[in-house]
Structure 1
């Protein structure tokens, strides 16, 4: 794949980040043949560690296509981090917007300009106790339906072993040396939704399809069978509130008994 002109700021970020990543971790990059050589596309990635954006970015950078992350607009005003976010072309998300499609206008425009736009559909670190992808939000589905661009499911594993997401200590667990595995799968088949209006039901179905594709890639990496039903923070919270609210005296269900959630 031909190396593109990445520009000064992205190369500066690579100079700062790649050497420690190369020194501290082993790498297992898989499925780069599924990354489109040209044209805009959407990458949907699981999120299980504060470290995994660096792991995925390293993988995507090495593929020859630069990732454009969606991030809270407040991050773009924070000193050096904000400067790097702006200069490397990351995409601010205006969460206060009541128009969900309008909030992702910049993402749609970036895809139309031929860029790679990266979504973490879960919206936050997974709450699944076994680190499987949980219920997704609908932003990636909206942009996919609006652009009709290829959607590449990407799973990663290993960063969570070096920096567990909810450990009391945020210290890196570097030894023994961890392997960062990132695997891209083939484009998700969304042909059944061509021409569909982005209703709540359609967006939920597309999002579930994307999460299934990510989970399939992660199952291959882990060589394990994922849970039959996807973890849902909303449903779990409802189950935990019931005894307090007097809605039910039944014992709390296990984490994996909660599946579908509402749109976010």
Structure 2
């Protein structure tokens, strides 16, 4: 397919990152296949995660088609960009269409990016994930590649002001070993394995992150930060879901 929008967007983003002197560290990029389909499964801590997760595939000269909520495609500014980059809209009320589109992309040799937690983790730990990524990988007969992002939450995340022009922020991108699943496997067990791998990558990214001030809001509670605990974050998510449902009813 023609790539008119994606390369200039990447170029503009990288230019901005250099101007801001973001300290981007990528490890394991050689695990991204240079050809063929794959499901890139990332944690989700920032509204900018798809940009940074996509950087992991650049050394392999690959572009990632990310699955993102439909509302992003409806926006007058982000919508044309998302469509131009051939990302995949997800309507939570009709997820079968998005699943089918992702499967088609994978079978045609594309890399599809998935945020398996569905929403941003306000605790900055890995939330429970569903088996959609596993079902896609099995259906297309492609590997899953776990990724952990860390530091992106400092730029723009849920419940905190945007700091898009913050300078010198370290960003860590860790790419894990591919995980292969096949038809007949216990998808929930494979999903649990995937989550454990993502959690281990994220823990390493967090523990090797430089310059952590005590009590940082962007650090998880179990590592001395003041982010909500997973239990507190779960309650916050539930309250947001209830409020969203109430708005749709009115």
Q: What band does the TM-score fall into relative to the shorter chain?
A: 0.7 to 0.9
For 1:208, the equivalent position in structure 2 comes to 192
How many residue pairs get aligned? The number is 220
Q: Is the 8 A contact 2:125 2:199 kept in 1?
A: yes
Task: Determine the C-alpha separation between the residues in 2 that align with 1:237 and 1:180.
Answer: 28
Deviations for 1:45-71, whole angstroms, at most 9, x for unmatched residues?
Answer: 011122322222233234311010111
Task: Determine the C-alpha separation between the residues in 1 that align with 2:159 and 2:2.
Answer: 34
For 1:92, the equivalent position in structure 2 comes to 89
Q: TM-score, normalised by structure 1?
A: 0.73
1:180 matched to 2:177? The reply is no
Task: Determine the C-alpha separation between the residues in 2 that align with 1:231 and 1:145.
Answer: 30
- Structure 1 residues 90 and 187 mapped into 2: Cα distance closer, same or farther (>3 Å)? same
For 1:138, the equivalent position in structure 2 comes to 131
3-state SS of 1:141 partner = helix
- Structure 1 residues 231 and 211 mapped into 2: Cα distance closer, same or farther (>3 Å)? farther
For 1:221, the equivalent position in structure 2 comes to 205
Shift of the alpha carbon at 1:87?
1.6
Deviations for 1:69-127, whole angstroms, at most 9, x for unmatched residues?
Answer: 11123332332321111121111223222xx5554000001000000000000001113
Q: Is the 8 A contact 1:136 1:211 kept in 2?
A: yes
1:147 matched to 2:140? The reply is yes
1:22 matched to 2:18? The reply is yes
Q: Is the 8 A contact 1:135 1:232 kept in 2?
A: no
Deviations for 1:123-175, whole angstroms, at most 9, x for unmatched residues?
Answer: 011132xx1211113321221221221100011111123335432x2234725
Task: Determine the C-alpha separation between the residues in 1 that align with 2:96 and 2:232.
Answer: 24
Shift of the alpha carbon at 1:187?
0.5
3-state SS of 1:107 partner = helix
Q: Is the 8 A contact 1:122 1:136 kept in 2?
A: yes
1:116 matched to 2:104? The reply is no
Q: Is the 8 A contact 2:64 2:112 kept in 1?
A: yes
3-state SS of 2:184 partner = coil
For 1:72, the equivalent position in structure 2 comes to 69
Shift of the alpha carbon at 1:18?
1.7
Q: TM-score, normalised by structure 2?
A: 0.76
Task: Return 5+ residue gaps in structure 2 as ranges.
Answer: 209-220, 223-228, 240-250
Task: Determine the C-alpha separation between the residues in 1 that align with 2:16 and 2:37.
Answer: 30
Task: Determine the C-alpha separation between the residues in 1 that align with 2:13 and 2:108.
Answer: 26
Task: Determine the C-alpha separation between the residues in 2 that align with 1:103 and 1:164.
Answer: 25
- Structure 1 residues 232 and 149 mapped into 2: Cα distance closer, same or farther (>3 Å)? farther
Task: Return 5+ residue gaps in structure 1 as ranges.
Answer: 242-264
Q: Is the 8 A contact 2:50 2:66 kept in 1?
A: no
